[in-house]
Amino acid sequence: MEIKIAVLAGDGIGPEITQQAIKVIDKVCRKTGHKPEYSEGLTGAIAIDKTGNPYPEDTHRLCMESDAVLFGAIGDPRYDNDPKANVRPEKGLLEMRQKLGLYANIRPVTTFGPLLHKSPLRKDIVDGADFLAVRELTGGIYFGRPQGRSEDGNTAYDTCVYHRFEIERICTLALNFAMKRRRKLTMVDKANVLATSRLWREVMQELAPSYPEVEVEYMFVDNAAMQIIQWPRRFDVIVTENMFGDILTDEASVITGSLGMLPSASIGVHTSVFEPIHGSYPQAAGRNIANPVATVLSAAMMFEHAFDCEEGGRLIRNAVEASLEAGVVTGDIDDTAPASTSEVGDWLAGWIEKS
């Protein structure tokens, strides 16, 4: 089967980590009978520098014509430190999500035995934690209108807007994920304060009876933030709106011990995007020290969600487990004898080739 993959390496460490994922993808394709075709596109700060647009039309066309998008990272200190910048790299990410209809971000939070000691939480708290966060991605306060500042510059405003159809599709997706897992779903909101959250609860209460096997609970976001840290093993599938999901999934990422270990998939109407959850880490760019595993595990999700190839995902996850057991890891995991970014990529690709 021929597969077309758009590679949007982006900024900072993006080119280095996507290169390692491609090494792994190539080896998996040889095992599974797929024939990959890669095409590169610009996005983020590098796209602004070259075209003035963080998500150029050529890049969007490339994504639409591909079977999946492998995404690196975006962000640049030049824009982070300039609050008056008219165009920002992150705008390209939001535009891509909107144009591709990427309404759902899927983030698995899974602990790894060899890394339990790296978590800031006690081993007995995090050991066995395994839940899936389903975040709505194209609505809410990040996209709400009106948005702006007053003419005198002393007042700024953002609006949080959700439509019933947006909530229905993300809740339905989350319920279906719960059916495939341990059949427990936690909806996170702020229904005691926000009208949008009350609409979320109303929609979920309408949908839930069609999934009688799934236990549905409702939790305020502040309580959820506390319980994710205190009892992460109590969660199976979490579904929530855009901003809450952004914050909670970053909080949950520390459970594993390293941001460099967590993948994600953004799926929706058109081509799905697979990317690590970490940022562009500009301090490490070009130094061959960044952890590529989150990007590699995102490729595992790509095989499963975009190519319907469970074997490919399993091969990659087994390779990652083996690398952790063997101690072939970057400095964020073990700084005593760290492997480089490319060495980790080579090791994972070699393990898959030999398996």
Task: Tell me the C-alpha to C-alpha distance, in Å, between residue 30 and each of 2, 27, 40, 202, 238.
Answer: 12, 5, 21, 48, 35
Please identify which of the residues 67, 246, 334, 346 carries the catalytic annotation: 246
24 inside domain:
yes
> How far is residue 73's CA from residue 322's CA, in Å, rounded to a whole number?
26
127 is catalytic: no
Residue with tokens 């996507």: 18
Q: 189 with 245, same domain?
A: yes
114 inside domain:
no
Task: Supply the CATH number for residue 67's domain.
Answer: 3.40.718.10
The pLDDT assigned to 82 comes to 67
Strands, sheet with 237-240, edge to edge from the N-terminal-most edge strand: 35-40, 2-10, 68-73, 273-276, 263-267, 104-110, 130-136, 237-240, 184-189, 215-220
157 is catalytic: no
152 is catalytic: no
Segment-wise mean pLDDT, segments of 10 residues, the chain, 355 residues: 96 97 98 97 96 96 98 90 78 92 95 88 93 96 89 91 97 97 98 97 98 98 97 97 94 84 93 94 95 97 96 97 95 91 98 95
The pLDDT assigned to 328 comes to 96
> How far is residue 329's CA from residue 335's CA, in Å, rounded to a whole number?
9
> How far is residue 338's CA from residue 144's CA, in Å, rounded to a whole number?
44
The pLDDT assigned to 99 comes to 95
Contact call for residues 11 and 46 (beta carbons, < 8 A): yes
Please identify which of the residues 4, 127, 190, 334 carries the catalytic annotation: 190
Q: 32 with 85, same domain?
A: yes
Q: 247 with 266, same domain?
A: no
- Report the number of distinct structural domains present in the chain: 2
Q: 150 with 71, same domain?
A: no
Rg (CA), the chain: 20
Q: 201 with 74, same domain?
A: no
Beta-bridge mates of residue 108: 132
250 is catalytic: yes
Contact call for residues 5 and 38 (beta carbons, < 8 A): yes
Owning domain of residue 228: 120-256
Please identify which of the residues 158, 250, 334, 346 carries the catalytic annotation: 250
Tokens of 166: 């947006």
Residues contacting residue 67 through CB under 8 Å, at least 6 positions apart:
3, 4, 5, 271, 306, 307
335 is catalytic: no
> How far is residue 134's CA from residue 131's CA, in Å, rounded to a whole number?
10
113 inside domain:
no
The pLDDT assigned to 319 comes to 97
